[in-house]
Structure 1
Amino acid sequence: MPVLEVMGVTYSYDGFVTVLEQVGFDVDAGEIVGLLGPNGSGKSTLIKTVFDLLQLQAGSIAVGGHEHVSPVAKSAAMYLASNDYLPQFLTGREYVEMLGRLYGVEVDHAVADRLFETFSMSGRYDDLIEDYSHGMRKKTQLISALLMRRPLTIIDETLNGIDIEALYLTEQELTRLRDEGRSVVLCTHDFALLERLADRVLFLDHGILVADASTSSLVEEHGSLATMVFGHLDSQSRRP
């Protein structure tokens, strides 16, 4: 059974502007899937719909075989947003503990502290989040996902703004999640990262799923993911 099933999802703002049109795909267990598309393609709308942050208008979404609005589905998935809005009045420890309570996870704070150290945040676990830099907040989001280890983690541009070493460590940790049979959907404009890490790529443009194929087959066909995306966008710009 797929970890995530998206079937015929259509979404419009104010009933006039259609941002998703009959989008459908599956994400299997133990799979890293890249989500590509230009700004305005519907990526964030799709992700917010999966997490019931936007009410589903048409189609269906299931997480782990359960309707996406159900508590069991919500407990199986974690969303890392593109912004770094975290509760500034909490410490890193308190934030991680709060997430553990929400997801029913017994947090090993020694492991969490080691992850903070690994991600060059040694000694900051008990500091207030308001004193964290932008990059530190991003890394706190990533560390939280590694601690919760949900069956499905969706990352929406969260890797923007972190340093090279942290990005390298994140690649290693996401690979471990996949090896454990957990799934990751990675929304990013970093084509090279997806070529290294993603098993499959979804390409959205104007709310339509243009491509859903293995990364290796897309690279073999187009030479690179960048060539595929820019070639498509160039062909669209030339249409009468």
Structure 2
Amino acid sequence: MDVENVSYSYDGVLNVIADVSLSVPEATIVGLVGPNGSGKSTLIKTMFDLLRLQSGSIRIGGHDHSSAEAKSLAMYLSSNDYLPEFLTAHEYISLLGKLFHTEVDHSQARDLFLRFSMEGRYDDLIEDYSHGMRKKTQLISALIMRRPFTVIDETLNGIDLEALQLCERKLRLLRDEGRSVLLCTHDFAVLERLADRVVFLDLGHVVSDEPTQDLIAKHGSLSEMVFNYLGSDDR
């Protein structure tokens, strides 16, 4: 996924994102961090054509982001847990399979429900799920669809420690298969363990875009980098 010189304004005056460029190469996990209001959600919605691109370009798998080809390659897990409550998880994942033209392995899905501590709930209505179960259903759906490019926007928040550890292992497997992940989270420890690179966005601008280990070597930790910057006069 390649973003080049993208800006977006809600009122035509103040840019929420301003001339942003970043890329998520194949077989890479890239972290996206920034305070509330930094433009992360606007950028992600623009990637998925949920907001109309105003300037610049976005390409997914070499295709324009608004094309059917690009949309078939990418999956977006939003920060909320909105799922179709009138469906069971079985029906929901079946629907995703049809949308992405992907054969669903329901035995694998059931196994993931078991491993994510939701044994026997695959055929239950989503309306009966807790917040954490909905989050885990979102994550399981991405692990089943296995798109070349997946964006996870704060979806790891609200799941238990065992599920988080399992999810980290599964995301590494996606990377090992050559797939790409953009992981937006405030959990800097997760990014230190998972991300190959971290993009730091603030006030609509890219503050830094560097390998994770280089940032840790410079600042001691990702949290130190972010909080020191936010408390400085450089903003």
TM-score, normalised to structure 2, is 0.99
Which residue in the other structure is 1:95 paired with? 92
Which residue in the other structure is 2:46 paired with? 49
Q: Give, in whole Å, the separation in 2 of the partners of 1:141 and 1:225.
A: 26
**1:17 Cα deviation from its structure 2 partner:** 2.5
Q: Deviations over 1:25-71 (max 9, x none)?
A: 11110000000000000000000000000000000000000000000
Which residue in the other structure is 1:18 paired with? 15
Which structure 1 residue ranges, 4+ long, deviate > 2 Å from structure 2? Answer: none
Which residue in the other structure is 1:171 paired with? 168
Which residue in the other structure is 1:151 paired with? 148
**1:14 Cα deviation from its structure 2 partner:** 1.5
Q: Give, in whole Å, the separation in 2 of the partners of 1:150 and 1:45.
A: 22
1:1-240, aligned counterparts within 5 Å?
A: 4-236=1-233
Q: Give, in whole Å, the separation in 1 of the partners of 2:30 and 2:141.
A: 20
Q: Give, in whole Å, the separation in 1 of the partners of 2:37 and 2:12.
A: 17
**Percent same amino acid at aligned positions?**
67
Q: Which amino acid aligns with 1:29?
A: E
- SS of residue in 2 equivalent to 1:235: coil
Structure 1 vs Structure 2 CA RMSD:
0.8
Q: Give, in whole Å, the separation in 2 of the partners of 1:69 and 1:232.
A: 35
Unaligned residue ranges in structure 2 (runs of 5+):
none
Q: Which amino acid aligns with 1:203?
A: F
Q: Deviations over 1:80-103 (max 9, x none)?
A: 000000000000000000000000
Q: Give, in whole Å, the separation in 2 of the partners of 1:231 and 1:18.
A: 24
**1:18 Cα deviation from its structure 2 partner:** 1.1
Q: Give, in whole Å, the separation in 2 of the partners of 1:159 and 1:226.
A: 18
Number of equivalent positions: 235
Q: Give, in whole Å, the separation in 1 of the partners of 2:55 and 2:169.
A: 37
Q: Give, in whole Å, the separation in 1 of the partners of 2:10 and 2:226.
A: 26
- SS of residue in 1 equivalent to 2:229: helix
Q: Give, in whole Å, the separation in 2 of the partners of 1:112 and 1:164.
A: 20
Q: Give, in whole Å, the separation in 2 of the partners of 1:121 and 1:152.
A: 26
Unaligned residue ranges in structure 1 (runs of 5+):
none
Q: Give, in whole Å, the separation in 1 of the partners of 2:10 and 2:37.
A: 12
TM-score, normalised to structure 1, is 0.97
Q: Which amino acid aligns with 1:130?
A: E
Q: Which amino acid aligns with 1:196?
A: R
